[in-house]
Amino acid sequence: MGKMRLIKDAFGTTEGFCLVKSAAVRTDVKGSEYLDMVLADSEGECVAKLWNYARLTYGEFDANDIVKVRGTVQVWKDTEQFKIDRIRKATPDDRVDMSAIIPCAPFDPQDMYDELYNTAAAFKDEDLKRIVQYLLRENREQLLLFPAGVKLHHATRGGLLHHTCSVLHLAQHIAGLYPSLHKDLLFAGAILHDIGKIKELDANVLGIAGAYTNEGQLLGHINVGMAMIAAAAEITMISPKTAMLLEHMILSHHGKPEFGSPRLPMFPEAEVLSICDLLDSKMYEMDAALDGVSTDGFSERLWALDNRQLYKID
């Protein structure tokens, strides 16, 4: 458990913004209420106590609140805990840097969204331009926040856009090597391949997904994404054949039935999309696993990577 990045002054008092991971009102041995919390930021978390808690004075706090705290670090039974002196919920005027509070994609979500939208704007195929831009506009609010998963690759605020842009970049490089590829179709598939995750994941306003929705559990993002393509195709009145090609790319982008795809990729653009998606997810997981591993050292065994240990080269 890493230490949080709260700012410490010369008198030992620390303060800063953090995320409430849990909060519960308890009673001490004297019968007085206190607030028992776990606070966190992007670097770590700690147990925190607000003694002599009064709801009317401090208000109420729930998991996923962003708060500003001030207090001191104390040691209780060989364990550090944070004694809260002052606490309040963050406001828009605080302009909190969310990347300091929770894991975030390394690029600005609006910039990533604009890149996807502008890529579609440059399509020569009017059907593909229309449906991609429509789906991006209709789902903009969620796209700017959503992670790409609950625990595995790109499970960060803005992670879905981060993964989508990475897959698009890979596809753009590959398209330069193989002129026979239909670039607009390939890039459209890259942009839309995980669109169903905005209905599969149960994400909050902070961009944190703690679970899957009922739709996600029962159908999965591949089937949800296909349904979104079909509905958008009717609204935008694109060619049924174009819609079918996009649906197949969604259906087959996991590559194999054991990875969740009911069909193998059956045309080159679908194959390239599947390869790009797999490569980006694996590279992300490998980078994350090796972060903090010393040179010539090995990572823990990784279930998501066939239970492999990874070696960190110089």
Which CATH number does the domain housing residue 41 bear? 2.40.50.140
pLDDT for residue 251: 95
Q: Does 279 fall in a domain?
A: yes
| DSSP for residue 294 | P
Range of the domain at 169: 103-290
Query: Using CA atoms, how far apart are residues 194 and 36, in angstroms rounded to an integer?
Result: 39
**Pair 107, 125 in one domain:** yes
**Pair 76, 178 in one domain:** no
Two structure tokens written together for 202: 């149960």
pLDDT tens string, the chain, 314 residues long: the values are 345 555 555 445 788 898 898 899 999 888 889 999 999 887 778 899 999 888 878 888 988 889 999 998 887 777 778 899 999 999 989 888 887 888 888 999 999 999 999 999 999 999 999 999 999 999 999 999 999 888 778 888 899 999 999 999 999 999 999 999 999 999 999 999 999 999 999 888 888 887 899 998 999 899 999 999 999 999 999 999 999 999 999 999 988 776 777 889 999 999 999 999 999 999 988 888 888 888 888 988 887 778 888 888 98
**Pair 110, 256 in one domain:** yes
**Pair 268, 249 in one domain:** yes
Q: Does 50 fall in a domain?
A: yes
3-class secondary structure, 88: strand
- For strands 209-212 and 201-203, give the pairing: antiparallel
**Pair 118, 248 in one domain:** yes
H-only helix segments in the chain: 55-58, 109-121, 126-138, 140-143, 159-177, 183-192, 197-200, 214-218, 220-236, 240-252, 268-290
Split into its structural domains, the chain has a count of 2
**Pair 250, 192 in one domain:** yes
Two structure tokens written together for 163: 């993964």
Q: Does 296 fall in a domain?
A: no
Q: Does 313 fall in a domain?
A: no
The answer to whether residues 112 and 162 touch, using CB atoms and an 8 Å cutoff, is yes
| Phi-psi domain of 50 (left: phi exceeds 0; alpha: psi -120 through 50; beta: other) | beta
Q: What is the pLDDT of residues 31-83, one digit of tens each?
A: 889 999 999 887 778 899 999 888 878 888 988 889 999 998 887 777 778 89
Q: Does 237 fall in a domain?
A: yes
**Pair 113, 238 in one domain:** yes
* Closest listed residue to residue 185, CA positions, set 83, 270, 66, 303: 270
State pTM to two decimals. Answer: 0.82
pLDDT for residue 11: 47
Count how many residues are written for the chain.
314
Residue type for 33, please? E
**Rounded mean pLDDT of the chain?**
89
**Pair 75, 137 in one domain:** no
Domain boundary among 76, 94, 112: 94
Q: What is the pLDDT of residues 121-151, one digit of tens each?
A: 999 999 999 999 999 999 999 999 999 888 7
Q: Does 306 fall in a domain?
A: no
Chain position carrying tokens 């001030």? 70
**Pair 89, 212 in one domain:** no
3-class secondary structure, 94: helix
Chain position carrying tokens 């790109």? 154
**Pair 76, 118 in one domain:** no
Query: Using CA atoms, how far apart are residues 17 and 7, in angstroms rounded to an integer?
Result: 10
Q: Does 295 fall in a domain?
A: no
pLDDT for residue 225: 95
**Pair 152, 215 in one domain:** yes
Q: What is the CATH number of the domain that holds 135?
A: 1.10.3210
Domain boundary among 58, 76, 94: 94
pLDDT for residue 1: 36
Query: Using CA atoms, how far apart are residues 116 and 217, in angstroms rounded to an integer?
Result: 28
Domain boundary among 63, 94, 125: 94
The answer to whether residues 140 and 113 touch, using CB atoms and an 8 Å cutoff, is yes
Query: Using CA atoms, how far apart are residues 255 and 274, in angstroms rounded to an integer?
Result: 6
Q: Does 15 fall in a domain?
A: yes
**Pair 125, 204 in one domain:** yes
